[in-house]
Amino acid sequence: MFTVAVPWLLAVPAVVAALGALALWRGRRGVMRVSSTRLWAGLDSAASGTKKRALDPVWLLVVIAATLAGLALPGVQWRQQAKDLPSADVLVTVRSVAATQAFVRVRAVRHVREPVQVVADGRLIATPTVEALARGVIVDVPVASDKLQVELRTADAALATRQFVREVTPPFGVLTVGRPNAALLRAFRVHASARLDDATVRPIVLLADEASFALDPEERDVLVITCGRALPAGVERRAPTTQPQPNSPRLTSTGLLSADALANVRIAAATPLQADGNWRVLAETSLGPWLLHQRDASKNVTRVHFASVPGAETDWPAYPSFVIFCARLLEEVNPPRRGDAIVWRDVTPPAMATPVAPAHALTPYFVIGAIACAVVAVLALLRRSRTVHDSGRS
The answer to whether residues 117 and 250 belong to one domain is no
Whether residue 381 lies inside any domain: the answer is: yes
pLDDT at residue 39 greater than cutoff 50 = no
The answer to whether residues 134 and 186 belong to one domain is no
The answer to whether residues 62 and 137 belong to one domain is no
Model pLDDT, residue 47: 47
Section 126-152 average pLDDT: 84
The answer to whether residues 219 and 288 belong to one domain is yes
Whether residue 227 lies inside any domain: the answer is: yes
52-56 contact pairs (CB < 8 A, 24+) = 52/28, 53/27, 53/28, 53/29, 54/28, 55/24, 55/27, 55/28, 56/24, 56/27
The answer to whether residues 23 and 103 belong to one domain is no
Per the structure, the complete domain to which residue 193 belongs is given by 171-335
Model pLDDT, residue 216: 79
Whether residue 344 lies inside any domain: the answer is: no
pTM of the predicted structure, to 2 decimals: 0.49
- Which position has the higher pLDDT, 192 or 283? 283
Whether residue 248 lies inside any domain: the answer is: yes
The answer to whether residues 282 and 152 belong to one domain is no
- Provide the percentage of residues in the chain whose pLDDT is more than 70: 78
Note the pLDDT tens digit of each residue in 265-298.
Answer: 888 888 888 888 889 999 888 888 889 999 988 8
Whether residue 184 lies inside any domain: the answer is: yes
Indicate the number of domains in the chain. 3
The answer to whether residues 53 and 187 belong to one domain is no
Which of 50-64, 198-212, 366-380 is the most confident on average? Answer: 366-380
Q: How confident is the model at residue 46 (pLDDT cuts 50, 70, 90)?
A: very low
Section 312-325 average pLDDT: 88
The answer to whether residues 116 and 150 belong to one domain is yes
The answer to whether residues 191 and 296 belong to one domain is yes
The answer to whether residues 203 and 161 belong to one domain is no
